[in-house]
């Protein structure tokens, strides 16, 4: 599994984008993205769908939505 740990946004700009704007060194290899706001799994089959599975304490779904350009679905794990 390939896991990326990163800040969710920078200078009020989304980092989880619909399409990468930088040169790619390994397209389609990430399985999970962990940010300061939540945890997303990446399903690489059928279009690289992202699923939000965990939300950081003190973070709302609305905040994540406002700071995420990429499409994703929500399937939160029970705690």
pLDDT for the residue numbered 8: 86
Mean pLDDT, the chain, integer: 86
pLDDT for the residue numbered 1: 76
∠ CA 38-41-42 to the nearest 5 degrees? 135
Of all residues in the chain, what percent carry a pLDDT higher than 70?
Answer: 90
∠ CA 9-11-17 to the nearest 5 degrees? 40
CB 15 within 8 A of CB 66: no
pTM of this structure: 0.81
CB 50 within 8 A of CB 40: yes
Q: How confident is the model over 14-32, as pLDDT tens digits?
A: 888 887 777 767 667 788 9
């Amino acid at each position: 599994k390939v896991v990326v740990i990163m800040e969710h946004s920078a200078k009020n700009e989304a980092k989880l984008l619909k399409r990468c704007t930088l040169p790619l060194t390994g397209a389609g290899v990430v399985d999970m993205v962990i940010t300061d706001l939540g945890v997303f799994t990446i399903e690489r089959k059928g279009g690289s769908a992202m699923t939000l599975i965990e939300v950081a304490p003190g973070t709302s779904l609305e905040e994540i939505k406002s700071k995420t350009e990429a499409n994703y679905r929500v399937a939160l794990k029970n705690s």
